[in-house]
Structure 1
């Protein structure tokens, strides 16, 4: 019985990497079904994503050989089961369009996530969570209770074995410590085309500047507010006759689509971190 896997890797660029990877896979009878690579001439780094199939019983020996190969190239690798749903915890506040979109795509089989919990600092969406049979946790957050609240959130994330945390319009700034603990596995949607209009009320900032395009940005969470590596962005056209509320309404569809694409690419292991930026094989 054959099984499908995804291999991701990054390392300093030098001749022979593709040969080393493909040769290792070939020795274990693997068939490469999809492959993409990128050489960053600015940083001198090489990135690759390989989707392949092999006999299921070959995985253990193949994994050992891949790690042995990687050590010789100063290579970071990841090996994942293809199509395996990614355990996910979703954080949300009082705007539910992104949450609703993610749950709909998941239920429709369009998003390979396994929602384990929905965590919110408000009670607004407990019925929505219940309708999808996803546990809902109400954890209020104030300046005084923030450390305790984040400790409870992290407890839920770790208990559920979440490999991905999605901030689906969660309107609380995470502490530096929580950002570090979620590094590389937390995606935020910011309702602005970053790096413009960071922080709170970006649609009002955009309206005040008279912009003609509004956007949304999905990025990995870091301790630097709204400055994490960008995964996906998109825009919508607006004009001078629109109010900040009109911009907000127009932007919701863009936010939902951008976040869904970012989550999908992350769960399909198509996003590789490259310092402050990303390589996205889509």
Structure 2
């Protein structure tokens, strides 16, 4: 058993009150745990407290998770605390949805194959056949489910069948250029991450990078967020940015934007897997990596 497998992540949130940090840290100390990382935030406006700790047993022995959870639950109840314990080496099952743009998918599959993305990618689903060879090269099953306005319910039923079959725990929309139905958004709330470009000022419609070029933008960016029923308006996880100038033609802006999108999406998935994200009132608290 390696050192990483001996680490655990404890996340908790509760109404803000005196003793919230102490109830976690004191308990860990008494249980014989050594804290290797600790982040906390007290939201004064919403009177909500958030804490994330990474710890291991002081003697490097495996943690008795049943005893830990049963004992901590008693302490947490007094603070009306919502909490979760996760082994740090846990790899959630992921399914990626994509259309024709390959940059985010290619980046995620490479990170997965090289062990730099701590997930278990079970399948790729697309409404186009174009990227099948890319998925197959990484030995990932690829499902092609075409869609139009008349077949959307049937297509989403096919998608859900794959998600159920693979035991999907996190759905990643890696430039999937279709709007999920209300039912899918509700079913995958807090369990689906989307990525899209972020240009200032906002350029909607066709050819956003051509519009950006015509306006002489100096920044290109991307936003990763949880999926919601309001298009591209879900709780924001993280954002990325890159500087550009007058020498960047529309194609150059698009290439720069694709790089930012890929990095931003990978970072959002990493934060989700590492339990760094708290959701409260449709807003996120994110303990970023230092």
Q: Deviations over 1:158-212 (max 9, x none)?
A: 2211111111111101111111111111111111158934676543443454322
Asked whether 1:63 is paired with 2:69, we answer yes
After superposing the two structures, state which structure 1 stretch, 248-257 or 201-210, moved more.
Answer: 201-210
TM alignment of 1:1-282, pairs within 5 A: 3-54=6-57, 55-56=61-62, 58-193=64-199, 196-197=202-203, 201-240=207-246, 242-282=248-288
In the TM superposition, residue 20 of structure 1 has moved relative to its aligned partner by: 0.9
Structure-2 change in CA distance of 1:8 and 1:200 (3 Å): farther
Deviation for aligned residue 1:104: 0.7
- Quick one: distance in 2 between partners of 1:204 and 1:225? 22
SS at match of 1:219: strand
Aligned residues: 282
| 99-108 or 200-209: bigger deviation | 200-209
- Separation of aligned partners in 1, 2:75 and 2:22: 11
What SS does structure 1 have at the residue aligned with 2:25? helix
8 A contact 2:124–2:135 mirrored in 1: yes
Q: Quick one: distance in 2 between partners of 1:123 and 1:273? A: 35
Q: How far 1:141 moved relative to its partner?
A: 1.2
Q: Distance in 2 between matches of 1:165 and 1:128?
A: 19
2:219–2:244 Cα contact (<8 Å) kept: yes
Distance apart, 1:119 and its partner CA:
0.5
Helix, strand or coil for the counterpart of 1:266? Answer: helix
**Matches of 2:13 and 2:206 in 1, distance apart?**
35
When normalised by structure 2's length, the TM-score is 0.90
SS in 1 for 2:64: helix
Contact 1:194-1:226 within 8 A present in 2 as well: no
TM-score by length of 1: 0.93
**Cα shift readout 1:227-266 (whole Å, capped 9, x = no counterpart):** 1111111122233454433321221111111111111111
Equivalent-residue separation in structure 2 for 1:47 and 1:94 (angstroms): 39
Instruction: Point out where structure 1 has 5 or more consecutive residues left out of the alignment.
Output: none
